[in-house]
Amino acid sequence: MHIVVLDGYAANPGDLSWDEMKQLGECVIYDRTSPAEVLERSQGAEILLTNKTVLDAKTINALSDLRYIGVLATGYNIVDTDTAKERGIIVTNIPAYSTDSVAQMVFAHLLNICQQVQYHAEEVRKGRWSACPDFCFWDTPLIELRGKKIGIVGLGHTGSRTARIAIAFGMEVYACTSKSYFQLPHEIKKMKLDELFAECDVISLHCPLTPDTREMVNARRLSLMKPTAILINTGRGPLVNEQDLADALNTGRIYAAGLDVLSQEPPLADNPLLTARNCYITPHIAWASTAARERLMRIAVDNVKAYAEGKAINVVNK
């Protein structure tokens, strides 16, 4: 089998190994592939592996040897799955590999906002604690999570894991989910979306990006939130109207936001959230712990092995 990895650097910048994949066939690995290079690099490949490199209908139809596309991520919107299906090309993804890491990032952001960890550590380095007349020093609100209401939008793998962590912190957990009341554990109460935004102290986004969820966080919905509320987004950047969120933060309509994703990545320099008040942004790293990437690589190999044996798994275009 001729295998081509179009953009392997993000999943494996050099700290992991491609050896198992290389054992499955002739394997060519590129760190990154520009749109202009995709066709040339993909010619003759039976198997293409991509993370964020787009494989559209024109590209797929131009590759006569292609039989399998493996997405090195959970989301697969960068592949025209309908065209692949018409061509009889299997498309697979990597499900649930980063559940624990993403849920951990939710609380990394939330705890940083509530305890102002980064801020106070920086103030100590500036000498403010050393110059303080008291044994302790703080000059921002410090927020305890116990008893606070968290609203989780989307109760899949990461939403459910986030809910479990929130329960351990003593939070009251509510969810906007397609699951029925009878499918939810007793600690999680179901709420409609607008009610969730209006009543909860923390909103955490875990839903897929669809036409219905695009910019679901907008000026109207932000206006429902408490002025003390916190928004966390580790899901998809376009779930949020970024100008509306920046306006809400800058005017004190809501208290803070913790974001690991933006609508365009890397962001443009004029993205309003980069300078918004109480907006804490990490560069799309919730998924990228070493443990999560090791799982991703292992599942990617298992997916290709299963395809080679005629028993494809994790297929997204059946």
Query: DSSP string spanning 130-189?
Result: TT-SSS----S-----TT-EEEEE--SHHHHHHHHHHHHTT-EEEEE-SS-GGGS-TTEE
Where in the sequence is the domain holding 17, given as residue range(s)? 2-97+290-308
pTM: 0.93
**Is 317 a domain residue?**
no
Q: Are residues 14 and 54 in the same domain?
A: yes
User: Is 175 in contact with 200 (CB distance < 8 Å)?
Assistant: no
**Is 81 a domain residue?**
yes
Alpha helix segments (H runs only) across the chain: 19-22, 38-42, 57-61, 81-86, 99-115, 117-125, 157-168, 193-199, 219-223, 242-250, 290-308
Give the whole-angstrom CA distance, residue 285 versus residue 287.
Answer: 5
Q: Are residues 154 and 300 in the same domain?
A: no
Q: Are residues 35 and 76 in the same domain?
A: yes
Portion of the chain with pLDDT greater than 90, in percent: 98
**What's the mean pLDDT in 75-94?**
96
pLDDT 10s digits, 146-190: 999 999 999 999 999 999 999 999 999 999 999 998 899 999 999
Q: What is the pLDDT of residue 181?
A: 87
**Is 316 a domain residue?**
no
User: Is 53 in contact with 73 (CB distance < 8 Å)?
Assistant: no
The residues that are catalytic are 236, 265, 284
Q: Are residues 23 and 123 in the same domain?
A: no
CATH number where 32 lies = 3.40.50.720
pLDDT 10s digits, 187-230: 999 999 999 999 999 999 999 999 999 999 999 999 999 999 99
Is the pLDDT assigned to residue 106 strictly greater than 90? yes
Q: Are residues 252 and 217 in the same domain?
A: yes
**Cis upstream peptide for 266 (omega within 30°):** yes
Q: Are residues 20 and 111 in the same domain?
A: no
